[in-house]
Structures are given as structure tokens and as C-alpha cells.
Amino acid sequence: MLDALSNISEYLPTVSKPSQKLSLTRRLAWTGIVLVLYLIMSNIPLYGVPVSPTAATTITLENIIFASSVGTLMQLGIGPIVTAGLILEVLAGAKLIDIDLTNPDDQVKFTGAMKTLAVLFAVAEALVVTLSGMFWPAGTPVSPVVKALVVVQLVAASYIVILMDEALQKGWGLGSAISLFILAMVAQTVVWDIFGFVPRLALDFGVVPALIYDRDPFIVLTRANGFPDVTGLLATFAIVILLVYLQAMMVEIPVTSSQLRGIRTKVPLQFIYVTNIPVLLLAILVADLQLFEAPLARFFGISSLVYKVYSGIVFYLSPPNGLVETVLDPLRSVVFAISWMLLSVAFGYVWVEVAGLNPSSQAESLIKGGLEIPGMRRNPRVLESVLARYIYPLTSLSSLIVGAIAVVAAFFGAYGGGVGLLLAVGIVYQYYSIITYERALEAYPLIRKLVGE
């Protein structure tokens, strides 16, 4: 199956690598162009779909995780790519498919298979959301031609997103389009929550217009109906500061070199060992469940048992929107908090095993690098037992921490959501590292030779 998917990708349009490595300035420029194209596409309504003036005010976990925009070309966002990549990575990590991601040929095969699978997911999701009639009011007659055009638009837009991601990862830009679009969506959400205003409806959506026009401190402090409030603004600042602080925390393991005796150093393990991956995987799961909730309602009806069970699961797994919702429905808040904390830990352990961050893989890497722990025999099992004392507690603790941050942020209505802020801070730190590294290579050509670039 993997070979078949990879072979199909050879017939799909692709982006070639630049003939030579581009300068940092040009790569930043191309990254900016891709970002502008995404923002333009996320504001172009689908042909044949009625435009809702309040669509921009309804931002769910699905919109943030998939960088999607309701009723526009970015209706599916990066959903097909993220879902396809997640499935293949889990299958590869669990050894259910025979592939070695350290082998360049297998990497090409894996990338090609993921591209084809993303296209298939784009077609499937476009068909589901269109045939369910979620774009049109119930009972509205829609011709098959219009529905076909909507499907074509969604699939074409998804493929353009795939090409933009390829362009950045093949050297035209920096990072990946997936990270870039998620960051843009979170930033857009935060700005809208602060300054958002819909003049035609006289809707003081953002907290700043509310402070100016409502002039009621109590109402602005805790606003109902999911509107952003001052509590959420303060929670946003507090969580960002906390995440930046945790990002810099390290747990260091003392090691020595077997080749250079007498030289001691330390291997730093990030305190948030699993980074934001557990919450990201959990958020992708919940976002996928949210994506199919409306189609299920159309197909089975809102009074059917299937829909009631499904919507109940989605409801209790979805984050509450602010302090008012949290207090008014304590059962949902408790179930949400407990389920997210437990699932975060579970996904944390899964990711450590899948991504090769477990003690056995790390011990093997240390031995290959000629490093050993002082006072310990240079034996993989001995190193594995020592590393397990650090890695597994760090996995549990860091998974609980990121899960708790996401839960607390949801309870207090942090702008962009707890998951969005976790992802945004991590992505900004990633771009900072990439830019710092590239600037060092340009400033010191000797470093470029040493790293083989």
C-alpha cells in the first residue's frame, strides 16, 4: 500500500528544489509570500456558498488546529495533510509498516505516500462536508453542479496548500507551511479577540471595543456567549510567559566521551520533554471529531441515537469557552479536565515510543556518538536503565503540564485557546532557532563546511 501511494505521487504536480541554496533573506521573502497567499485564500468565499457575516466570529478548536476558515477556500485548511501525516507516522512508529525513516530512499517513499494520502483525505472531506449540506440552510435546494464546483474548489485549495508546504520544506522558505499557517491562525484569533468589531451588526466582539462601548467592568470581566473578556486577556499573557519560561528549562545528564578521556559534558533534555505533541495529537483527534459532527447531523438527523452519542462525546471532549461556560456546566468542565489530562499522558507515551525518544533509542544514539555516563559500563542496557529514570518521569510530568495548561487556558478563556497558545509559542521558538542557525551559517562559512552544507 505504501509503495502504491508513493508511486501515485510521482504523477502529481510537485515543487522542485532550488538549484542552489537560497540566502536567508530570499527564503524569508518566499515564506512571507506563502503566508500572504494563505491569508488571501482564507478570505475568499467558496463560489456557490452563502456568506455569513458572523462566520469569522465563530472560531473552534477545529479552525485553530487545521488553520481553517469557515465558508472560504481554507474550509479544510491543513486538515488533510495533518491527518495523513499523523496516521502514517503512528503506523511507522508502531512498526505496522516496514519503513526506515533514517534511509533517504524510504524518506522519499514516505513523503510521497503522505502526499497521496493527503489528497485522498482532501477529496473525502470535501465530499462529506458538501454532500451533508452544511454550507446551506436546511431545506435549501442546491443543484448538483454547484455541489460539484464546491468539491472541486476545496480539493484544489487543499492541493495548493500541499504545494506551499512542499515549497517551504524543499528550501524555498523556512520551516513548514503547516506550522506557519497554525501560527497565523492563532495570531489572527488573538488580534480578533482583542480588537474585533462587526460594524453592520453593531457587535462589540473584541475586548477593546467592549471596554469602549459597554463601559461595564463586570460584564467585560466575564462576558457570556463565548465573547472575549479581560479575564481571558490576562490569562493569555500569563500562559505565554509561563510557556516561554518552561521552554528554556532543561534537565541535564552528565556524560563523558569514550574517545576524549577526561572531557566531561552534559546532555540537556528539555523539561517539557514531549513539547506540545500530546496536546496537539489530542487536539487533532477532537478537531476531526468536530469536523464530522455537522455532516452526521445532516445524514442521521439530530434526534437519532447515533448523533446524540457522537455529539455527546464531542461536547465533553471540546474545551469550554471561557469562565462563564466553565462555571455554568461543572460536569462538562470536570469531565473535560480529567479526560484531557489522562489522554495527554497517554499520547505523550505514545509519541515518545513512536518518535524514537524512548530510553533504548536515546541510549543507542549516545553510544553511536561515543558518549557514556561516568561510572557506568558502556552497555546499551545499562545506559537505557539510567536514561529511563529521567525520560519516563519527564514524559509523565511534561504531558501533565501541557495538558493542565491547555485545560486552565480553556477555563479562563485565553485568546487563541490553550492548544493554540502552546502551538504558537513552540512554533515561534522553532522559527527563532531556524533563523539563528541560518544566520550563523551565513556569518561563519567555516561552520557551513563543518556541518556539510
User: Is the per-residue pLDDT at 220 higher than 80?
Assistant: no
Domain span including residue 103:
1-195
What single-letter DSSP state applies at residue 47?
T
pLDDT for the residue 257: 56
CA angle 381, 387, 390 (to 5 degrees): 155
The phi, psi pair for 419, rounded to 5°, reads -65, -45
pLDDT tens profile 37-84 = 999 999 899 988 887 655 555 567 778 888 888 889 998 989 899 888
d(CA 122, CA 116): 10
Are 150 and 245 in the same domain? no
| Residue ending a domain, choose from 195, 214, 239 | 195
Stretch 206-218: mean pLDDT, rounded? 73
pLDDT tens profile 330-339 = 999 999 999 9
Please choose, from the candidates 405, 427, 429, the residue with its C-alpha nearest in 3D space to the C-alpha of residue 418: 405
Query: Given pLDDT bands bounded at 50, 70 and 90, which one contains residue 119?
Result: very high
Q: Is residue 427 a part of any domain in this protein?
A: yes
Query: Given pLDDT bands bounded at 50, 70 and 90, which one contains residue 157?
Result: very high
Q: Is residue 206 a part of any domain in this protein?
A: no
Are 246 and 157 in the same domain? no
Q: Are the C-beta atoms of residues 279 and 403 closer than 8 Å to each other?
A: yes
Q: What is the average pLDDT score of the chain? A: 82
Q: How many domains does the chain divide into?
A: 2
Are 125 and 167 in the same domain? yes
d(CA 167, CA 176): 9
Query: Given pLDDT bands bounded at 50, 70 and 90, which one contains residue 266?
Result: low
Are 280 and 396 in the same domain? yes
Are 265 and 144 in the same domain? no
The three grid cell numbers given for residue 84, joined into one nine-digit string: 495523513
Q: Is residue 207 a part of any domain in this protein?
A: no
Are 189 and 235 in the same domain? no
pLDDT tens profile 409-432 = 888 888 888 888 888 888 898 898
d(CA 403, CA 211): 32
User: Is the per-residue pLDDT at 16 higher than 80?
Assistant: yes
Are 243 and 304 in the same domain? yes
Q: Is residue 37 a part of any domain in this protein?
A: yes
Stretch 155-180: mean pLDDT, rounded? 92
The three grid cell numbers given for residue 437, joined into one nine-digit string: 542557525
| Residue ending a domain, choose from 140, 173, 195 | 195
Are 154 and 275 in the same domain? no
Stretch 244-255: mean pLDDT, rounded? 74
Is 173 in a helix, a strand, or coil? coil
pLDDT tens profile 270-280 = 767 667 788 88
User: Is the per-residue pLDDT at 375 higher than 80?
Assistant: no
Are 270 and 163 in the same domain? no
Query: Given pLDDT bands bounded at 50, 70 and 90, which one contains residue 327?
Result: confident
Are 186 and 245 in the same domain? no
Q: What is the DSSP string of 76-137?
A: STTHHHHHHHHHHHHHHHTTSS---TTSHHHHHHHHHHHHHHHHHHHHHHHHHHHHTTTTS-
Q: Is residue 224 a part of any domain in this protein?
A: no
The residue ranking higher by pLDDT, 124 or 443, is 124
Stretch 120-140: mean pLDDT, rounded? 84
Q: How far is CA 231 from the centre of its chain?
A: 25
Is 203 in a helix, a strand, or coil? strand
Are 247 and 180 in the same domain? no
Q: Is residue 293 a part of any domain in this protein?
A: yes
**Domain at 52, CATH number:** 1.10.3370.10
pLDDT for the residue 164: 94
In 258-326, which ranges are E strands?
A: 264-270
Percent over 70 (pLDDT), the chain: 83
| Residue ending a domain, choose from 195, 214, 247 | 195
Q: Is residue 327 a part of any domain in this protein?
A: yes
Are 236 and 177 in the same domain? no
Q: Is residue 205 a part of any domain in this protein?
A: no
